[in-house]
A = this chain, B = another copy of it.
């Protein structure tokens, strides 16, 4: 059993467990009360806030505990947008933010606000000057993650923060994936994080709002957590979150080196072990424990299932997994292959031998899936030098498999039209062309779905 999905949720750190147990006994009472149990709870809450603030690098009175990272993001974005409403209603996000940021942006747009999504390059990073160019007179808030949750790419937060500062626009940094590794540099204004990503318990997020940032908490009033996080404080979990953040930080420098070496093994060896693989994300500027790759001609859900049977728990941004029929917005924004996508995110303490075993198991698992999928017959029609592949009603990776099977049947210079109504084809057919040195001509509307036109170059 190797759990390689720490970017979704990290197993509870032993320190978090200890602290939680102690706080269940000491910290169950209402910290707003004046009697001794309440005062004791208040002391624990204050100490947790001090510890978390020290780890974040902020003042204790700038930090509140929310009920999740998602809540921190929702409240942080809504609060700044409302606080700076007089300045304007323009919001900037990167195209690869966590869904909690994008969904908050959707609400803003539905409410009449304007939104700019800053594109990313093929590694998943924004370009700081491109980001800066979107800052306007009426920009109320800019958002940028510290590092991407699907591919591990670190964003140029300090540079973007400088540009924001110069423009007088607050920058909200979603630090969920990286705060366990160290504080976020640069002059950010608002920061959010989630304890269960660093080995703390679920039920705790951080929302930090720097002094001087105009902030108007939205929703019904509540006196707790400076009015920014309504509801009775989840004190045992807060205590555990703060204690475990301190604990993982103490081990972070050493563990980062170790995990980086392990993910580097995967980055370099998977393409050698498995044909037709694209490793995605920045090879250098990345989280220590995350590595993501996509496998041509493979359906992500089946591959995850095979890996699970072999004892590996990993995640995927492919379509056809976990009840979604579209590839992850991150892979789409990067313009990389989404089929057969696998994210390996190693938890603290992941064993080298487990990574080695993963590298042993993976080639066979991919080959098995490909073998199963390789069989389906395609209905192909050759008209002059145009070959039409009808993949309507077939899900990824079938359209790409059909394309690969027939490309040799047209002469060099001839074209293949792949008919598909699968959302993933829009991303994966161009990605296949790039990997195979063929020309992607474009997408044309069809009676059902689209026709994806590919010209054979070699």
Cβ contacts A220-233/B at 8 Å (1 or 0 each):
11100000001111
Q: 8 Å CB contacts to B: which residues of A100-159? A: 100, 103-104, 106-107
Cβ contacts A21-51/B at 8 Å (1 or 0 each):
1001000111011111110000000000000
Asked if A173 is at the interface (CB within 8 A of a chain B CB), the reply is no
Contact A232-B194, Cβ < 8 Å, known A8-B33, A221-B103, A321-B34: yes
Whether B74 contacts A1 by the Cβ 8 Å rule is: no
Whether B17 contacts A24 by the Cβ 8 Å rule is: yes
Whether A232 contacts B34 by the Cβ 8 Å rule is: no
CB-based nearest B residue for A68: B231
Contact A232-B70, Cβ < 8 Å, known A12-B24, A24-B201: yes
Cβ contacts A303-334/B at 8 Å (1 or 0 each):
01101100011110000011000000000000
Report, as a range, how many residues of chain A touch the other chain.
35 or more
Within 8 Å CB of A70, what residues of B?
A: 222, 230-232
Option from B21, B28, B67 in Cβ contact (under 8 Å) with A67: B67
Chain B nearest CB, measured from A203 CB (Å): 4
Whether A232 contacts B69 by the Cβ 8 Å rule is: yes
Asked if A335 is at the interface (CB within 8 A of a chain B CB), the reply is no
Within 8 Å CB of A68, what residues of B?
A: 67, 230-232, 234
Within 8 Å CB of A1, what residues of B?
A: 36
CB-based nearest B residue for A102: B220
Asked if A418 is at the interface (CB within 8 A of a chain B CB), the reply is no
Copies in the assembly, this chain:
2
Asked if A205 is at the interface (CB within 8 A of a chain B CB), the reply is yes
Contact A28-B8, Cβ < 8 Å, known A35-B313, A230-B74, A322-B34: no
Within 8 Å CB of A305, what residues of B?
A: 34
Chain B nearest CB, measured from A43 CB (Å): 15
Whether A107 contacts B219 by the Cβ 8 Å rule is: yes
Whether A222 contacts B103 by the Cβ 8 Å rule is: yes
Whether A308 contacts B231 by the Cβ 8 Å rule is: no
Cβ contacts A67-109/B at 8 Å (1 or 0 each):
1111100100000000000000000000000011001101100
Within 8 Å CB of A410, what residues of B?
A: none
Asked if A368 is at the interface (CB within 8 A of a chain B CB), the reply is no
Contact A220-B100, Cβ < 8 Å, known A28-B11, A202-B234, A231-B70: yes
Whether B33 contacts A230 by the Cβ 8 Å rule is: no
Within 8 Å CB of A390, what residues of B?
A: none
Asked if A301 is at the interface (CB within 8 A of a chain B CB), the reply is yes
Whether B29 contacts A8 by the Cβ 8 Å rule is: yes
Spell out A's residues near B (CB within 8 Å): 1, 3, 5, 8-12, 17, 20-21, 24, 28-30, 32-38, 67-71, 74, 99-100, 103-104, 106-107, 194, 196, 201-203, 205, 219-222, 230-237, 301, 304-305, 307-308, 312-315, 321-322
Given contacts A5-B33, A74-B219, 7 further A-B contacts (CB under 8 A): A12-B28, A33-B315, A34-B321, A69-B232, A74-B230, A100-B230, A234-B234
